[in-house]
Amino acid sequence: MQIHILNFVLINISFGDWILISLISFLLLILIVLLNTLKSLVHEIVPPIKKENEKTFIDAIESSLTNAMPIDREEEILLDHNYDGIKELDNHLPPWWVAMFYATIIWAIGYLIYFHFSDSAKLSLDEYNDEMAIAAKEKSVFLEKEGNKVNEETVTLFSDQENLNQGKEIFTTNCTPCHGQSAEGSVGPNLTDIYWLHGGGIKNIFKTVKYGILGKGMTNWETQLTPKQIQQVSSYVWSLQGSNPLNGKEKQGEVYSENTNEIAPDSLKMQTKK
Amino acid sequence: MALETFSYDNKIVKNFAYATMLWSIVGMLVGLIISLQLVFPSLNLGIACTTFGRLRPLHTNAIIFAFVGNGMFMGIYYSLQRLCKARMFNDTLSKIHFWGWQFIIVAAALTLVSGITSGKEYAELEWPIDILITLIWVVFGINLFGTILKRRERHLYVAIWFYIATWVTVAMLHIINSFELPVTFFKSYSWYAGVQDALVQWWYGHNAVAFFLTTPYLGIMYYFIPKAANRPVYSYRLSIIHFWALIFLYIWAGPHHLLYTALPDWAQTLGMIFSIMLIAPSWGGMINGLLTLRGAWDKVRENPVLKFMVVAITAYGMATFEGPMLSIKSVNAISHYTDWTIAHVHVGALGWNGFLTFGVLYWLIPVLFRTELYSKKLANFHFWIGTLGIIFYVLPLYWAGFTQSLMWKEFTAEGQLANTFLSTVTRIAPMYAMRSIGGSMYLVGALVMLYNLIKTIQLGSLLENEESSAPALVGEYTSHSTDHWHRWIERRPIQLLVFSLIMVAIGGIIELVPTFLVKSNIPTIASVKPYTPLELQGRDIYVREGCSNCHSQMIRPFRSETERYGEYSKAGEFVYDHPFLWGSKRTGPDLQREGGDKLKKPNAWHFNHMRDPQSISPGSIMPAYPWLMDDNLDTSNTGAKIRAMIKMGVPYPDGYDKIANQDLMHQADSIAQDLKQNQIKVMSNKEIIAVIAYLQRLGTDIYKEK
């Protein structure tokens, strides 16, 4: 997960944002100084043990940042305003604050020009197309390397317990809402009888799981399961033939048997091509 | 000069203070209840009026318009009289304002739990209440300006600048955003559709934060901080620059709620860059507030009033720094639709508005009742449990938001989404529980305050009319060469009003007008057609039940969203959506393509899921909607709804309103028939049928193009 976070952050941070990140760092620095200012304000009440009139380095930075009139000389900048007893001083604007204001304005103008008046920046949809292209490439490289390339033509039935257990787990997480706890069928059809809407057997089931039956409620699981996982769950489903669970849903579709070679037209085409 | 004697109206201030105290408890209690509903969905009780989708707007409206609204009027009515050295303009108007506002709140509460809502976030109230709000706001305005015009103080103090800007901007926002076409007494459609509606809504929504929760409270801060600390305001020139910069820049920032949506890129950019430029003006207020306490920090340690105020200003500074950060597109890509936003607004609501209100109440109640606070100890207890409550509230939600967002975006090496939506919800459930603990602590603090203040009130007696005297303003002011140039406008409230309006109108005009007039901003899609009558009725039920409080309908152009939900949303898909229902939070998954190939589910799935979500998705926190299966769909208004749509330019054929119900029945029958084939027996005239029809239609039109 760590790597994905890092990837995500790197992909999504653009040039303009790097400028902003520097700005944030700058602002954080200011925040620290501001907090320090507050601390020293507290010190005015509870004076730290310090020689008279000795200015520390921090004091110097501070006064250059806030540019505030010392409290004992406040009278000099007290205005003649008096609103229900409220008076107003006329302290200088804190220089760091002014600098920050200018910096954000300059950044904003720069961002606007960069993204809308120069051809170098990517807007939302360009960003998206790039993201998709990178992902597709990475995916194909990965699958190539892993040999995880089983498809509806090459898929074979798992019969070992380990793969079937994995398949059962996948089934329980993803399939039970529509097909029932024991594949007896509820919203979706019963998967344990010999009747099949889209063909039985490992190849047909793999295909149905992978591409889904769009428009009829069956999701295309290829976006959520790996080819191997689809192979596992399809093998598990086929292993349930004849398990005859309670409350099985009534038959839907045609009888399927391996011998009749009733394969959906698409896969037939692929076979003849071979 | 002869002294004039007059009296301040303290009774109206007391009334607003009482209302603030009452609504604070109500609003927070509803908030606590809905936060618990996210942990224990059974707390929705299976009853329409106690379900999350209806209670959540009740919570937000109660906090914003009832608690903070009354708090604002309390602060304004107290400070304005003293800053103007004049009694409120008219006692009857004060009373109408007070009772009118309370009536609006009660009407809002009753209608919201009954599902009477416009569906627009923070502007949910239906058209009769919208009109009432406008009238009461005008009453408030007359009272405000009447008092200012008969003032005995030549210049207007900075607090009053903020009050004036608040009044004029809220009026503008409310009126423009509330353009709606009534269908019945309790139902209207937003005049705008889709992208345009979204832009107007968030221009309003964002500036409700700015001009209802921020500017009036800055005004209140400028009065009560110097009063409570007995210190002069830090910098007059800072007041000037941050006031004008704040109101000018704030209004532009609305589109940052719509980053990566179907809103045109240029508008998104404006929203983002103006948000960044807002940091300094916002912090100007924080600096002026905090540095006013320079030389009074010993008092802060002693005085609970100042403690509350210091935390409030600090929370304001944090929220106004975080807001711009969240407006940066790449940060927003992570934070949007998650609980991060909820944490962010609660730093503002609990910290800034809550704590400043508490500070003012602790200062004001003893003053009004001429006594000492009953217990300083209890006030200190309130301060600490409230502060801890805020921390316990926001930290888990930051964590939850970040965790969930990363889980949504996580892919396996095989290129597949690593997490189902549901697994991201169950992962953050413990953080929701922790948030409820934080919220409870904050509420306990508020209850302790209520007790403490009631005891204080019992100790003292209210001075209803406080005598005062001041010389009348006579003759023209002779200005001095040493006067600051800004003093000119401080003597002229009308000019101040006009200039404020100009300032806030600029950003609005530049963003709204092109989006309405320039065609290329919303490219049309030929295959997008109006909803069928049944789908339209289903959509209205979707609005009524507040589905968009938890489900967005806006797929952003990210791989993690198009893989999960399907094709990203296009501006042209929403042209018949009155109102838009993009939502702002994904407590549940996005529904924009619920009927599309990727997500399409059988009618029976929807039926079972709405009746008992947990039976289909174990661990889901969605409430059940059993009444949709029992209640009959009201088809008596179908014709009126179609006519309203036609009036707003939705291309139904002429005279379609008369035959719409035939089509409606036909479609309903076919859905009921399909359900019957799946062993679900339901009459075709039930509400659930319309909801299913709407959900199955969602996001499908663009696929018809191919």
Tell me, yes or no, whether B675 and B656 share the same domain: yes
| Domain match, B58 and B173 both | no
pLDDT for the residue B589: 97
% of chain B residues with pLDDT over 90 = 90
Let me know whether B286 and B299 are in one domain.
Answer: no
Lowest mean pLDDT segment, chosen from A14-23, A30-39, A227-236, B36-45: A14-23
Residue contact B294–A68, C-beta within 8 A: yes
Question: At B583, which CATH number?
Answer: 1.10.760.10
Q: Is residue B151 in some structural domain?
A: no
Residue A201 within a domain? yes
As a dihedral over the C-alpha atoms of residue B84, residue B89, residue B94, residue B97, rounded to 10 degrees, the angle is -90
CA distance A9 to chain B (A): 8
A96 within a domain of the structure (yes/no): yes
Q: Tokens for A174?
A: 């993803």
CA distance A213 to A205: 11
State the total domains in chain B. Answer: 4
pLDDT at A186 exceeding the cut of 90: no
* Domain shared by B249 and B321, yes or no: no
Instruction: Provide mean pLDDT across the span A72-98.
Output: 91
Nearest to B259 by CA among B283, B243, B275, B278: B275
Token pair in block for residue B587: 């407590």
Contact B414 A44 (CB under 8 A): no
Find residues 102-131 of chain A whose CB sits inside 8 Å of chain B: 104-105, 107-108, 111-112, 115-116, 123-125, 127-128, 131
Whether A150 is in a domain gets the answer: no
pLDDT in tens, B578-619: 999 999 999 999 999 999 878 888 999 999 999 999 988 889
DSSP at B57:
H
Nearest to B559 among A13, A112, A131 (CB): A131
Residues of chain A positioned with their CB less than 8 A from the CB of B8: none
d(CA A158, CA A238): 10
Domain range for residue A92? 2-116
DSSP state of A213: B
Is residue B142 assigned to a domain? Answer: no
- ipTM of the shown complex: 0.92
Q: Are B464 and B561 part of one and the same domain?
A: no
CA distance A239 to chain B (A): 24
How would you classify the pairing of strands B187-190 and B3-9?
unpaired
Q: Within a domain: residue B172?
A: yes
Residue A39 pLDDT grade (very low, low, confident, very high; cuts 50, 70, 90): confident
CA B431 to chain CA mean position, Å: 23
Residue A126 lies in a domain: no
Pair A98, A172 in one domain: no
The shortest CB-CB distance from B279 to any of A38, A83, A100 is to: A100
Which CATH number does the domain housing residue A184 bear?
Answer: 1.10.760.10
Last residue of a domain, one of B106, B125, B144: B125
The Cα–Cα gap between A172 and A181 comes to 7
Mean of the per-residue pLDDT values of chain A:
79
Q: What's the number of domains chain A is made of? A: 2
Please report, for residues A38, A64, A89, B288, B480, the alpha-carbon distance to residue A75 in angstroms, rounded to integers and kept in the order given. Answer: 21, 20, 8, 18, 20
Is A186 in the same domain as A84? no
**A145 in contact with B, Cβ within 8 Å:** no
> Is residue A142 domain-resident?
no
Collect all residues of chain A within an 8 Å Cβ-Cβ radius of residue B604: 187
Encode pLDDT of B356-381 as tens digits. 999 999 999 999 999 999 999 999 99
pLDDT for res A105: 95
Asked if residue B206 belongs to a domain, the reply is yes
pLDDT in tens, B166-197: 999 999 999 999 999 999 999 999 999 999 99
Spatial CA neighbour of A191 closest among A239, A153, A259, A261 = A239
Q: Is residue B480 part of a domain?
A: no
- Tell me, what DSSP letter sits at residue B540? H
pLDDT exceeds 60 at position A18: yes
Report if residue B475 sits inside a domain.
no
**A15, two tokens:** 């040039």
Answer whether A97 sits within 8 Å of B284, measured CB to CB.
yes
User: pLDDT tens digit string along B96-111?
Assistant: 999 999 999 999 999 9
Instruction: Tell me if B437 is assigned to some domain.
Output: yes
Q: Is residue B562 located within the same domain as residue B661?
A: yes
Indicate whether B416 pLDDT > 90: no
| Whether residue A98 is found in the same domain as residue A166 | no
CB distance A13–B330 less than 8 Å?
yes
Burial of A159 (0-12, 13-18, 19+ CB in 10 A): exposed
Q: Please tell me if residue B704 touches chain A, with a CB cutoff of 8 Å.
A: no
Q: Give yes or no: residues A110 and A199 share one domain.
A: no
B394 and B428, same domain (yes or no) = yes
Q: Residue B1: name the closest of B216, B206, B154, B194 by CA.
A: B154
Cβ atoms of residues B582 and B260 within 8 Å: no
Highest-confidence segment of A44-58, B410-424, B643-657: B643-657
Element (DSSP H or E) covering residue B184? strand B180-184
Instruction: Give chain B positions within 8 Å (CB) of A135.
Output: 411, 415, 559
Name the token pair of B139.
Answer: 């009453």
Which of the four pLDDT bands, split at 50, 70 and 90, describes residue A187? Answer: confident
Q: Which residues lie closer than 8 Å to A122 by C-beta, 6 or more apart?
A: A14, A130
Calpha distance B363→B354 (Å, rounded): 14
For B366-511, list the strands marked E by DSSP: 465-471
In a domain, A155, yes or no: no
Contacts with A, B 151-170, CB within 8 Å:
153, 155, 157
Residue B424 C-alpha, separation from nearest chain A C-alpha, in angstroms: 14
In this structure, are B620 and B589 located in the same domain?
A: yes
Residue type, B300: V
Q: What residues in B contact A5, CB-CB < 8 Å?
A: 406
Choosing from A116, A149, A176, the residue where a domain stops is: A116
Of residues B92 and A172, which shows the higher confidence score? Answer: B92
**Which domain, by its residues, includes B653?**
533-705
Angle at A240 between CA A234 and CA A246, to 5 degrees: 130
Does residue B84 carry a pLDDT above 80?
yes
Q: Which ranges constitute the DSSP H helices of chain A?
A: 2-12, 15-45, 57-66, 95-116, 124-146, 161-174, 176-179, 201-211, 227-239, 265-273
**Same domain? B114 vs B171:** no
- Render the burial of B199-209: b for 16+ CB within 10 Å, e for the rest: bbbbbbbbbbb
Residue A272 pLDDT > 50, yes or no? Answer: no
**Across the interface, do A92 and B235 touch by the CB < 8 Å criterion?**
yes
How far is it, in rounded angstroms, from Cα A151 to Cα A149? 6
Residue B590 in any domain: the answer is yes
* Crossing angle of the two packed helices B69-84 and B215-229, in degrees rounded to 10: 60
Looking at the structure, do residues B243 and B177 belong to the same domain, yes or no? yes
Q: With contact defined as beta carbons under 8 Å apart, do A230 and A205 qualify?
A: no
Residues B19 and B94 placed together within one structural domain of the fold:
yes
The CA distances from residue A262 to A268, B177, B336, in Å, are 9, 61, 50
Q: Looking at residue A247, what is its pLDDT?
A: 82
Q: What is the mean pLDDT of chain B?
A: 94
Q: Are residues B268 and B352 in the same domain?
A: no
Instruction: Tell me how long chain B is.
Output: 706
Tokens of A185: 């069928």
A88 to B558: CB separation less than 8 angstroms, yes or no = no
CATH number of the structural domain spanning residue B267: 1.20.210.10
A111, A166: one domain: no
Does the distance separating the beta carbons of B416 and A226 come in below 8 Å? yes
A132 and B559 in contact by Cβ < 8 A? yes
